[in-house]
Structure 1
Amino acid sequence: MKLKQVLWLGLLTVYLTPGVLLVLARFLSLPPVAQEQNTVSPEQEGTLAPRDAIVQVDSKQAEADKLFQQGLSHVRRSEFPEALQSWQQALVIYKQIGYRLGEARSLGVLGITYRNLGEYKKAIDYHQQSIAIARDIGHRHGEGASLDNLGGAYFNLGDYKKAIDYHQKSLAIAREIGYRLGEAASLNNLGIVYYHLGKYKKAIDYHQQSLTIAREIGNRLGQGNSLNNLGATYSQLGDYKKAIDYHQQSLTIAREIGNRLSQGNSLNNLGLAYDHLGDYKKAIDYHQKSIAIDREIGYRQGEANSLGNLGLVYDHLGDYKKAIDYHQKSIAIKKKMGDRQGEANSLNNLGLTFLKKKQLEPAQTHLFDAIKIKEDIRHLLGNKDDWKVSIFEKQANSYILLKHVLITQGQPRQALEIAERGRNRALIDLLAAQLSETPQKTKALTLEDIQEIAQQQQATLVEYSIVDDQIYIWVIAPTGQITFRSHDLPQDTTLAKLVKFSREEIGVRGRSNHNPSSPQNTKDGNRLQQLYQLLITSIVNLLPHAPSPLNPNNSNRLQELYQLLITPIVDVLPTNPSDRIIFIPHQELFLVPFAALLDDNHKYLIEKHTILTAPSIQSLSFTRKNWHRVQDSNGTPLIVGNPTMPTITVGREQKPLPALPGAETEALTIAKLLNTTALIGAEATESTIVEKMANASVIHLATHGLVDGIYYRGAIALAPEEPDHDGFLTSREILIGYAGPEKSLLKAKLVVLSACDTGRGEIKGEGVVGLSRSLIAAGVPSLVVSLWQVPDDDTAKLMTEFYTNIYTHKFDKAKAMREAMLSMLNDGDGNPDPKAWAAFTVIGEAR
């Protein structure tokens, strides 16, 4: 089994803007190589030169100014304890003579220095005192500088939400007063925080802005820091050649200006890049040089990061004894300093090294400890859902490793708890907040909780987990019995390719590998052109066509998926076709059309079982609570079909999405069944739909669905209204409008997105991030979505049958969907081709 490490990307170099001392505060943090700037006001800069006027005015102030200057001199020689002593003495005198500006600047440099020494809470206290004085005397420069530094201290503690808030406030002040050095520093620091949140495109943008300003004003250290941070980000994106180029440029500048701290940082980051490239000899050399500088100047956090990085290199070389020694030394320093994220990453890497040594008990202990810290950091993000989704991408590896350790130890039940603990954490926080549960009270599920949910659902739960080249499967029966199975994935292909081929076998396109969060070489216009062409091409699939049953001789991929996902557990699945199975997919399995999987006798899975899906087991407990909340909802059903289509700007042209006449027929038929009026064409405006969604008991949207991140991970096409509504109801707008404790949750018992690809989205560690997730977060207990474009006429037939089954035959939603699919499959008037019926899936509550 190939196991992956969370790489420690090195040092964050902090520097004071020209004046106070370019090397006063270089600090390192979490896994990346970024450098952060400590912002200093012009008055602080001015202390580098004696102020004759002040010296002549007051001998006591002159004494304090002299002590302040001595502190700076000590810092130049990396004599930090002596610098602290001088500044503390200066602070006492400034307080005695009532010179508040001197008091504020002394507090500021003390905060910066304590931060660089790893005493973050003490640093916060000094910065808060400095801010209070600056505000009291109306000193905007000082306020902005201390706000930025306060943000940096919270960043070190892993409180990214507060860090961003303080950096943004500092940036606003810098721009307001035209202070370009402060502006560059705040931009740089924002880039660092977004880097740690996994927002690499945003991080690059901030660092590029900071670099531009540094070049314009001739700030060499600022240029070096921004170059180093850009290198860190490109390294994370896998572009090591570009990363090395940026780090080499940064190192050259650091040597030219004599900044030892920046030299050490760049050396460390170069070591990381060469480690990625497999040049371990060069990596060790760079890291050892970095450690030598860190120890020479007494920079403990830099030393801790470089020690951790050396541990990674020796792990790669198979020298586990040395790797463990370096990781343990790194952890000791980080723990003492309160560097929570750094401690978590080193604990993860230490756990992996013990796993490779087959010492499973210490591996389990260290990975558990890493997860606990990471969960604490995520909690500090509060209600910032998007940040939580992003940061989990950087945290998921610890859960994966711990699952493997527990399975290897023969503890599959405990591994199930971890599998659930690592799913949909941001979504679970949103759902918990809706029901007046604060995030800290959102506890992870125990085995007893999982068994209780299976019993409440009266369903067999099947949870999958992909761990590198293996697949783990847990089956939880309504009786509480838990069965675990595992087996190797095929060696001749990847799971992603197998899923893609199975979809192509049905006759639908595979999922794009496009990652909307990554920097793209294509221009937006080109991307939109691709989308438009895709929609135009797909219209062919929406036209009536003759049935084309799946050729049994050409169905091997669907059978392969059946053998991979179903055969290992077939003996513990229910034998009664009416008994429900709820599949909990993982990674690319979210794109699997479970209903269409074929057994050896060429029977589809839907012929043998009643099927639902869910993003996680824990989400089912919340959809059940939301079902109780809305079960008496009697609002007017909202049925929408074929709205006047919005346009997409492609280059300089406005191109409308193609109309869906079949969707109009579908909506009119369903509206008649539900005794309501459908909104068609120009009536189906975005503002009207959003207004009516709030109180509707059922929501049915038969229109285009868009994916691939252009409209924030998914959108529904509605009639536009210029200039305020573009006609695209995005997943983000649904989250903002309806999800969360202070929002008015939707009252719908059922939402049907009868549009192409509405069940897809960006697959992340959090799960599928798209329209379905947003609607679950908005309080919807039951959701029907599609995994591909379904022909218009076929969708109309299936949906009419689905609603007839619910409202005439009184079936639950899962049974209603199964019977509708079987009708399409077996009825002479239907379409037996799985492309026509297998795309749809019921998510959440069956009732």
Structure 2
Amino acid sequence: MKTIHYRRISLTVFTTLTLIISFIPANFLLVFQSPSVSAQTANSEALSLVKLGDYYKELNNIPRAIEFYQQGLAIAKANKDQSTAVSILKALSEVYLSQEDYAAAIDVSRQGLALAGEILDSSAEMKFLDYLSRAYYLIADYEQAIKYSQQHLASARTATFSGQFIQNHLTVTRRGKSVSDEAQALMTLGNIYYQKSEYDKAIDYYQQFLSIARSQKQRQGEGQVLGNIGLVYASKGEAAKAIDYFEKDLAIQREFRDRLGESQTLGYLASAYSRLKNYSKAVEYYQQSLLIAREVKYTRGEAINLYNLGLTLALFGKLPEAEKSLRDAIDVHESLRKKLGNNDAYKVSIFEQEAKIYQGLQQVLIGQEKNNEALEVSEWGRARAFVDLLARRLSTNGKGVTTSEPVVDKPTLPLLQKIAKQQNATLVQYSVIGDDKSKLYIWVIKPTGEVTFRESDLESLLQKENTTLAKLVTTSRQSIGVRGGIIASENLNQLKRLHELLIKPIADLLSSNENNRVIFIPQSSLFLVPFPALQDEQGKYLIEKHTILTAPSIQVLDLTRRQRGAETTTSLENALIVGNPIMPKVVLEPGQSPEQLKDLPWAKKEAQDIASLLKTDAITGKQATKAAIVKKMPSARIIHLATHGLLDDNRGLGSAIALAPSGNDNGLLTAEEILNLKLNADLVVLSACDTGRGRITGDGVIGLSRSLISAGVPSVIVSLWAVDDNSTSFLMTEFYKNLQQKLDKATALRKAMLTTMQKYPEPKYWAAFTLIGEY
């Protein structure tokens, strides 16, 4: 388990004013607050409100401060006083960052950056770039953080070259000068690359910062970067060298009586001693760091210390104490998540860091043989943002207005057992554990409520086979020709090896009745596993023995069931069938010119055959425009899209379905656009390439399937790789024939796969599709 370190990003240290606002006469406050005082201009009124906001901020009455800032901002905007508006937005950005309200900080900083650009205020632009880089860093969206930090650095260096001196407001200390904007940008970039484990880049940026801090005689900045350099060495396994840097840093923090800096450095020292297996010393330093973090109300620091303390206590053999510390860390993180409001993207980003805490707690619980409690934690630690999003959608009325605050129940064991019973299926939940992914926990919940825990040993993968589970998943996909590789019988052993790790440990717990459903709940790289194609020792495929579905979490299954309501069968009426639209032009490689996607004649035949079965008309060619299809989607009960799929495994929400362009649109229906639709379909089939893929996160796969379920669809069929046009057409037609026989969706898909297997024996032709959600 890896120690978490959030790199230092200095926050302004506020001192309490000697002026106590409670002594301000009431009539003086009324004058400041009145929007119609004739003696004041609109400009002075806005500035007066800002002044009040500053007073309340210094007294740490943040809600009141924000209230006055927002009143002043409204007046400044109404009177088109852009300069005052920029000043207020800076104040708001700083307050929101100090309160760890990153969603609000990003929002106002973006407003400020645009406005500062309009009035050519380069100093303000740099501040907003810095705010944005820090906010994105703190929610672990490192690509956005790098983008804004690089812009900040370039602007700062341009300003320095032109003779300007722009003081950085973020590293104000109680004594001494501030470092420059250039130095602050260098520090942030070093922090980001440290988190990305790109240690050489991190040291390079830190050394540049150190040179500037020393040339400016900025002692506290020097101490901070010495600590950061120490962390890099600690992460590289050079703990003794790291301690030397940390002790120099600690002396400087104490010299300046910087309690926050002292807390962070104590935490760094603790991590170094833990690496040296001096656990008693590590625990002592973590506890000191935790006390100070609580004293200065640094919530993130409190969560980090609780997590690291928990890991160290576990290594020290004190499992009950470790459990308490990790549970406390989760509680603190919950308070941070609530501050992100309804912003799904920010919740996904911050959960990347939270996931480690849930994994650490699972290990501690399993170490105490609390297997069922570990299952609860495993479920609570996955698809959290997705569950929140679904719960919020379910709590809205038909007009999209929230009728009540969505309540997401904690996944207690009775709740999980109830869901298994409602699904009438065996649930198989996987949890990949450890920084080296050396453990695989598996829980099986039967429809009867019986819960069994098994563990799959991945150590042999690392030690004997020199590979990881993630790499094995990739090579297994390649072995069946998913990426055009050569198919050889010996390569199919990869599918057997995956079966040995994922299925064999629980095979005796799965029903011998092939019609009984098994729902797999994967994690991380396991989302890409072709479960139907896994083979046992006799070479029998898993789909031949079981009816298979997948889901990102057990609670998502429950929420999709609630989306579906009381319906138990799939209505084949009012179907929207689309095939082979006139393809759009797409940039397939960065820097290249757009090229038109290839025609898919079998997708057209597929759509026409299915439409004929369902007694409707297929929409193909130039009629299948994005605008026309999006207009029809909300009223359709079945949506079938046979076309090209485009994968975005960087951001996820850019994954798209290709439709015919028209007007000003490019013909690409993205996951981001689908997320904002309100759909009433019982089933959506994305008969295209890679539609089940996207950006794999701690919250699951961010892509088309997630967006469709969030938009109201209880069941989605998607593909895990680039599918063949001809065999896919055959498989999909068989699927709808099975639905006509009143089979449920999972059974219909299984039988279609088995029929396709007879005509196209190789797994790449029939094993790509998976049913996510309700059966």
Structure 2 length as normaliser, TM-score? 0.88
Match of 2:3 among 5, 12, 21: 5
Contact in 1 for aligned 2:72/2:88 (Cα 8 Å): no
Partner of 2:444: 475
Partner of 2:762: 833
Partner of 1:610: 547
Contact in 2 for aligned 1:5/1:397 (Cα 8 Å): no
Contact in 2 for aligned 1:231/1:242 (Cα 8 Å): yes
Q: SS of the residue aligned with 2:604?
A: helix
| In structure 2, distance between residues paired with 1:768 and 1:106 | 46
Partner of 1:646: 584
Q: SS of the residue aligned with 1:555?
A: helix
Matched, 1:721 2:662: yes
Seen in structure 2, the aligned counterparts of structure 1 residues 104 and 303 have a Cα distance that, compared at 3 Å, is farther
Matched, 1:596 2:533: yes
**177-186 vs 780-789, which deviates more?**
177-186
Matched, 1:708 2:648: yes
Q: SS of the residue aligned with 2:616?
A: coil
Seen in structure 2, the aligned counterparts of structure 1 residues 26 and 222 have a Cα distance that, compared at 3 Å, is farther
Contact in 2 for aligned 1:131/1:143 (Cα 8 Å): no
| In structure 2, distance between residues paired with 1:772 and 1:466 | 22
Compare relative contact order (CA 8 Å, sep 6+) and give the higher one, 1 or 2.
Answer: 1
Q: State how 1:67-106 maps to structure 2 within 5 Å.
A: 80=15, 84-85=17-18
Letter in structure 2 aligned against 1:471: L
Measure how far apart 1:108 and its partner are.
6.5
Letter in structure 1 aligned against 2:417: Q
Q: State how 1:398-797 maps to structure 2 within 5 Å.
A: 398-436=357-395, 441-467=407-433, 468-489=437-458, 490-491=461-462, 492=465, 493-509=467-483, 554-628=491-565, 636-649=574-587, 651=591, 653-709=593-649, 712-722=653-663, 724-735=664-675, 737-738=676-677, 745-797=678-730
Paired-residue identity, %:
45
Contact in 1 for aligned 2:53/2:64 (Cα 8 Å): no
Runs of 5+ unmatched residues, structure 1: 15-24, 28-79, 510-537, 542-547, 739-744
Seen in structure 2, the aligned counterparts of structure 1 residues 166 and 593 have a Cα distance that, compared at 3 Å, is same
**631-640 vs 769-778, which deviates more?**
631-640
| In structure 2, distance between residues paired with 1:125 and 1:291 | 35
Partner of 2:745: 813
CA deviations over 1:773-827 (Å, ceiling 9, x no partner): 11111111111111122222211111111100101x111111111111221234x
Seen in structure 2, the aligned counterparts of structure 1 residues 460 and 643 have a Cα distance that, compared at 3 Å, is same
| In structure 1, distance between residues paired with 2:124 and 2:328 | 38
Measure how far apart 1:638 and its partner are.
0.8
Match of 1:219 among 166, 174, 189: 166
Q: SS of the residue aligned with 1:642?
A: strand
Q: SS of the residue aligned with 1:154?
A: helix
Measure how far apart 1:135 and its partner are.
6.6
Partner of 1:205: 147
| In structure 2, distance between residues paired with 1:130 and 1:660 | 57
Q: SS of the residue aligned with 2:61?
A: helix
Letter in structure 2 aligned against 1:455: K
Q: State how 1:11-410 maps to structure 2 within 5 Å.
A: 11-14=8-11, 25=12, 80=15, 84-85=17-18, 114=58, 121-122=60-61, 125-126=64-65, 128-129=67-68, 132=71, 141=83, 144-215=86-157, 216=159, 217-219=164-166, 221-410=180-369
CA deviations over 1:68-118 (Å, ceiling 9, x no partner): xxxxxxxxxxxx56xx33798998999699997997776576667x5xxxx
Letter in structure 1 aligned against 2:9: L
Measure how far apart 1:211 and its partner are.
2.4
RMSD: 2.8
Contact in 2 for aligned 1:582/1:613 (Cα 8 Å): yes
Letter in structure 2 aligned against 1:183: E
Measure how far apart 1:176 and its partner are.
4.2
Structure 1 length as normaliser, TM-score? 0.80
Q: SS of the residue aligned with 1:348?
A: helix
Letter in structure 2 aligned against 1:374: H
Seen in structure 2, the aligned counterparts of structure 1 residues 665 and 477 have a Cα distance that, compared at 3 Å, is same
CA deviations over 1:206-237 (Å, ceiling 9, x no partner): 12222233231333611111111121112222
**100-109 vs 235-244, which deviates more?**
100-109
Seen in structure 2, the aligned counterparts of structure 1 residues 618 and 89 have a Cα distance that, compared at 3 Å, is closer
| In structure 2, distance between residues paired with 1:755 and 1:212 | 42
**146-155 vs 337-346, which deviates more?**
146-155
**780-789 vs 437-446, which deviates more?**
437-446
Q: SS of the residue aligned with 1:716?
A: strand
**710-719 vs 369-378, which deviates more?**
710-719
Q: SS of the residue aligned with 1:219?
A: coil
Letter in structure 1 aligned against 2:90: D
| In structure 2, distance between residues paired with 1:168 and 1:762 | 25
Measure how far apart 1:440 and its partner are.
6.0
Contact in 2 for aligned 1:623/1:776 (Cα 8 Å): yes
| In structure 2, distance between residues paired with 1:431 and 1:133 | 37
CA deviations over 1:442-497 (Å, ceiling 9, x no partner): 12211111111111111111111111201111111110000110021123221112
Contact in 2 for aligned 1:158/1:339 (Cα 8 Å): no
Measure how far apart 1:132 and its partner are.
4.7
Runs of 5+ unmatched residues, structure 2: 33-39, 168-179, 397-403
Contact in 2 for aligned 1:7/1:312 (Cα 8 Å): no
Contact in 1 for aligned 2:674/2:707 (Cα 8 Å): yes
Q: SS of the residue aligned with 1:358?
A: coil
Contact in 2 for aligned 1:91/1:106 (Cα 8 Å): no
Measure how far apart 1:343 and its partner are.
0.9
Letter in structure 1 aligned against 2:264: N
**748-757 vs 633-642, which deviates more?**
633-642
Letter in structure 1 aligned against 2:582: T
Partner of 2:400: none
Q: SS of the residue aligned with 2:594?
A: strand
Seen in structure 2, the aligned counterparts of structure 1 residues 673 and 663 have a Cα distance that, compared at 3 Å, is same
Measure how far apart 1:357 and its partner are.
0.8
Seen in structure 2, the aligned counterparts of structure 1 residues 709 and 473 have a Cα distance that, compared at 3 Å, is closer
| In structure 2, distance between residues paired with 1:418 and 1:612 | 23
Contact in 1 for aligned 2:73/2:89 (Cα 8 Å): no
| In structure 1, distance between residues paired with 2:594 and 2:88 | 48
Letter in structure 1 aligned against 2:137: Y
Seen in structure 2, the aligned counterparts of structure 1 residues 143 and 260 have a Cα distance that, compared at 3 Å, is farther
Contact in 2 for aligned 1:713/1:769 (Cα 8 Å): no
**405-414 vs 163-172, which deviates more?**
163-172
| In structure 2, distance between residues paired with 1:248 and 1:382 | 38
| In structure 2, distance between residues paired with 1:844 and 1:147 | 43
CA deviations over 1:746-789 (Å, ceiling 9, x no partner): 11111111111111122111111111111111111111111122
Letter in structure 1 aligned against 2:374: A
CA deviations over 1:40-82 (Å, ceiling 9, x no partner): xxxxxxxxxxxxxxxxxxxxxxxxxxxxxxxxxxxxxxxx56x
